[in-house]
Amino acid sequence: MLFLTRITPAQTPPGRVQWSVNDNWRFKPSGSEFAMLAKTSDNAWERINLPHTWNAKDPFDDDATYRRGISWYRKTLFVDESLKDKKVYLYFEGANQVSDVYVNGAFVGQHKGGYTAFSFDITGSLNFGADNLIAVQVNNAQDNFIPPLSVGFALYGGIYRDVWLIAVNKLHFNMADHASSGIFISTPKVSAQQATVNIRGSVKNDGTGSKTFEIIHQIYDAQQKLVTTVKQNLLANAGQTKEFNLTSGDISSPNLWSPENPYLYTVVSQVIEAGKVVDEIRNPLGFRWFSFSPDTGFSLNGKKCVLRGTNRHQDMEGKGSALSNEDHIRDMKLIKEMGCNFVRLAHYPQDPEVLRMADKLGLLVWEEVPVVNNMNVDAEFLNNSKNMLREMIRQHYNHPSVIVWGSMNEVLLWSKDSERIQVQTDTAYVNGVKKFAVQLDSTVRAEDPTRYSTMAMHMSDDYEKYGFANIAAVSGWNIYNGWYSGEVAEFSKLFNEKHRLYPHEVLLISEYGAESDKQINTENPQRLDFSGQYQRYYHESYLAQMKNMPYLAGTAIWNEFDFSQPNVGGTMSHMNHKGMATWDRKPKDVYYLYKANWNPEPMVYVATRDWLKRGGKPGAPSTIDVYANTGEVTLTVNGKSYGTHKPDGVNKLSWKVTLQEGDNVVLATGIKDGITYADRVVVHYSVFDDKIAPGFSSLAVNTGSNAQYIDDAGQIWIEDRPYKKGGYGYIGGTQAMLNIKTLITHTNDTPLFYSYQDDVKGYRFDVPDGRYELELCFIEPEKIDKNERVFNVSVNGSLFLRNIDLAAEYGQGVAVKKKVIAEAKNGQGVFVEFGKVKGNPVLSGIRLVRQ
């Protein structure tokens, strides 16, 4: 079947024209011989539209693999005869990661790298007035010479950004400069009183004879009023690329660009031949000046400006990396509405719409290339990395939002043998990486002396020991004390000491964060429990400490949105859930902590929407937290007032309240400037008494955990407790959690299996006599050999499981559920006994249901 797009004369005005060619592609998820040739049928191929990735779902397979390899895309394109006198380019905003492009069977070019744009001149391969076959082979397989090598995010394969057909006249702005616009705009002089604009670039004459022409740049303000014009007459011989470099006169009282006032001018650049516009490009322009200081941090337009930021990965649930422009716009608005004025685009250049929205919304940008963790100190790898830097900088050079270019991230975290290590001991390898780092940083400075260079480093002394921290102009540091290890209070202590020891360093926190899962909640949060309460505690502490660190240039939360991270564990396998919002872009409670502190718009928010269904003892105190920037807040529950509180240093207020069984209406109210702001939620409370009542029906326990787990059916698995007569609980053992890197597979109840009771001796339910279904949940938490952990399980004295060996039967990380019917007789309840044969018995969950 033939699907084609028609490019017709009605769409071809005199200058440059551009069409989206996103629709009606054919896709084959494998290699194919002669797929670039028209004789090869694509009738059986899948019909798709761009953007597209073939990895939207498979990074979450239980076997911890996702397909990285070759796929093919094809499209039939009718190109009108009227375009035969133009130069025609195929422009890709992004395809991951090696793309080979063919037109009518002819190879037109290859691009390496998955995150920058590329374009090819396809004029000579087109059939004008006829159908044309576009074929693209895309390969996202691991390549040791193309960054990234070690990937802490999914390397989605596909043509996942927009594709355009661009037609220009033979005399045109240069289309061959790293897929840039061919025009580069800077502001060599800016103040509140006056500014100048420098515009440089090049024009290509693809005609057969020499051409005399005029370059005109017109600068318009936001109301489309002409501010100034600069122009130059030039002569270009046939085939010649002619450069230009023009500077405007003084522009009086420029409207300065800032996060509070993201005022944009527009530069309209034209090539005029014989009085006719033959090419035109529009670029944004923002007047601002900025600087970094090791003592006072960051300043913008002559005033101190604390960078309040976050990181952003581009993927999303159900779509992978193939987001629409509307998705990108929504993301940037969510970041701005949280109160951010800064965003790090990690760990790669992002969609043009992201940069456009940063300009429009007033978000300062750190953009970087994907030289992440693992390094290959080889010339080819270095050259590919340099090329990525040039492409990123030249393509996004004209965005006033960009203030720093990043060249690498945590490059001393891995050894030359691709192993994650704590301390580097191979001096030769480290020196090779350092030379590499110097060259990349030098590339940044040479490409764009108007901005700052940076690199992100993890909290290792090696960066200072080997001189890495002195390479870039700004030192970015990724810190997770209080999550992966240590305590949250170490944050300011570590950086106060770093500032004392290395007073020349400009310090910027490029990553910090803790993970949360909306299905996990607790009154007693602890490190690594994945509860929303611990995530909020972590960020509340860091935020409070930042306010007393005036030398910091700024901070960037890791991450704004949960994102895919194949082959990592925790309570959601293959996910990094440190986000302020979930993978499907629903803000978590912690989002509003930052909004209450960073966004001046008055607000009151009851921070319990991540825990609207909770359980506990009758009459037990329940915590209700509120984030508000209105000052004092009054809280009522079911109409009963619990008083008026003042916020702490991070605009948090807390109450201990009594929730009744069933629904509870929680109302928080604040007043600012005479206006009342309120937030109302309904919390459903289920009673779980320590004593088992005669009417007992069921109970599920999140064994070995301090937290409650709510499963997909809405059932609460209550936090664990030691046994007390008349009730229920464990006998013996200690609470434990899996290693955070361990994958949990073969279950939809992943959070339930993350914790376990280690060396458990028994579990007792003092339930009434009767017949019960007992469910036991197991997982092998360690990577051990068979026969290293063997135990028996008996129920009310009857052997249920003999010599169970989880490692031998299932392997590490495989969730196992076992059910048995148990009879409670003579007031003895149900008693589960674990008999040690070798190693410690373990239990991850237990559920008892009366039949």
Q: What is the pLDDT of residues 283-333, one digit of tens each?
A: 999 999 999 999 999 999 999 999 999 999 999 999 999 999 999 999 999
Please report which confidence band the pLDDT of residue 126 belongs to, taking 50, 70 and 90 as the band edges: very high
Q: How far apart are CA 812 and CA 650, in angstroms?
A: 42
Contacts of 254 (CB under 8 A, 6+ apart): 190, 192, 194, 195, 287
Q: Please report the pLDDT score of residue 777 as a whole number.
A: 98
Strand partners, 242: 203
Q: Please report the pLDDT score of residue 420 as a whole number.
A: 84
Instruction: Check if the beta carbon of residue 497 is closer than 8 Å to that of residue 505.
Output: no
And the tokens for 444?
Answer: 């940044």
Contacts of 149 (CB under 8 A, 6+ apart): 142, 372, 373, 374, 375, 376, 418
Active site residues: 410
Q: How far apart are CA 136 and CA 75, in angstroms?
A: 9
* Exposed/middle/buried for residue 279 (C-beta within 10 Å: 0-12, 13-18, 19+): buried
Instruction: Check if the beta carbon of residue 603 is closer than 8 Å to that of residue 630.
Output: yes
Instruction: Check if the beta carbon of residue 728 is closer than 8 Å to that of residue 701.
Output: yes
Q: Please report the pLDDT score of residue 13 as a whole number.
A: 46
Contacts of 606 (CB under 8 A, 6+ apart): 624, 625, 626, 666, 668, 679, 680, 681
And the tokens for 297?
Answer: 């941090």
How many Å is the maximal CA-CA distance in the chain? 106
- % residues pLDDT > 90 (the chain): 93
Q: How far apart are CA 446 and CA 154, in angstroms?
A: 31
Q: Please report the pLDDT score of residue 61 as a whole number.
A: 66
- Provide DSSP, 403-445: EEEEEEE-TTSB-TTS-B-SS---HHHHHHHHHHHHHHHHHHH
Phi/psi for 437 (5° steps) reads -60, -40
Q: How far apart are CA 396 and CA 348, in angstroms?
A: 13
Q: Please report the pLDDT score of residue 150 as a whole number.
A: 80
pLDDT digits (tens, 9 = 90+) for 694-729: 999 999 999 999 999 999 999 999 999 999 999 999
For 351-378, what is the mean pLDDT?
96
Please report which confidence band the pLDDT of residue 63 belongs to, taking 50, 70 and 90 as the band edges: low
The answer to whether residue 2 scores a pLDDT higher than 70 is no
Q: How far apart are CA 359 and CA 442, in angstroms?
A: 26
**DSSP element (H, E) containing 253:** none
pLDDT digits (tens, 9 = 90+) for 133-190: 999 999 999 999 999 998 788 899 999 999 999 999 999 999 999 999 999 999 999 9
Between strands 708-710 and 520-521, the pairing is antiparallel
And the tokens for 622?
Answer: 């329940």
562-573 in b/e form (b: 16+ CB < 10 A) is bbbbbebbbbbb
Please report which confidence band the pLDDT of residue 567 belongs to, taking 50, 70 and 90 as the band edges: confident
More confident: 14 or 95: 95
Q: Please report the pLDDT score of residue 641 as a whole number.
A: 98
Q: Please report the pLDDT score of residue 97 as a whole number.
A: 95
Please report which confidence band the pLDDT of residue 837 belongs to, taking 50, 70 and 90 as the band edges: very high
* Exposed/middle/buried for residue 299 (C-beta within 10 Å: 0-12, 13-18, 19+): middle
Other CB atoms within a 10 A radius of the CB of residue 623 amount to 15
Q: For the chain, give percent helix, strand, coil, nearest 5.
A: 15, 40, 45
Phi/psi for 310 (5° steps) reads -150, 170
Q: Please report the pLDDT score of residue 207 as a whole number.
A: 95
Contacts of 218 (CB under 8 A, 6+ apart): 226, 228, 229, 267, 268, 270
Instruction: Check if the beta carbon of residue 74 is closer than 8 Å to that of residue 139.
Output: no
pLDDT digits (tens, 9 = 90+) for 406-438: 999 999 998 888 888 888 989 999 999 999 999
The answer to whether residue 571 scores a pLDDT higher than 50 is yes
Q: Please report the pLDDT score of residue 152 as a whole number.
A: 84
Lowest mean pLDDT among 60-69, 548-557, 723-732: 60-69
- % residues pLDDT > 70 (the chain): 98
Instruction: Check if the beta carbon of residue 815 is closer than 8 Å to that of residue 777.
Output: yes
The answer to whether residue 50 scores a pLDDT higher than 90 is yes
Tell me the average pLDDT of the chain: 95
Q: Please report the pLDDT score of residue 12 as a whole number.
A: 44
Listed residue (692, 773, 677) closest to 725, CA to CA: 692
* Exposed/middle/buried for residue 327 (C-beta within 10 Å: 0-12, 13-18, 19+): middle
Residue type, 398: N
Listed residue (60, 58, 53) closest to 575, CA to CA: 60
pLDDT digits (tens, 9 = 90+) for 484-542: 999 999 999 999 999 999 999 999 999 999 999 999 999 999 999 999 999 999 999 99
For 728-746, what is the mean pLDDT?
96
**If DSSP codes are grouped into helix, strand and coil, which group holds residue 387?**
helix
Q: Please report the pLDDT score of residue 11 as a whole number.
A: 44
Q: Which residue matches tokens 């005005």?
A: 13
48 vs 54, 155, 314, CA distance in Å?
A: 11, 20, 21
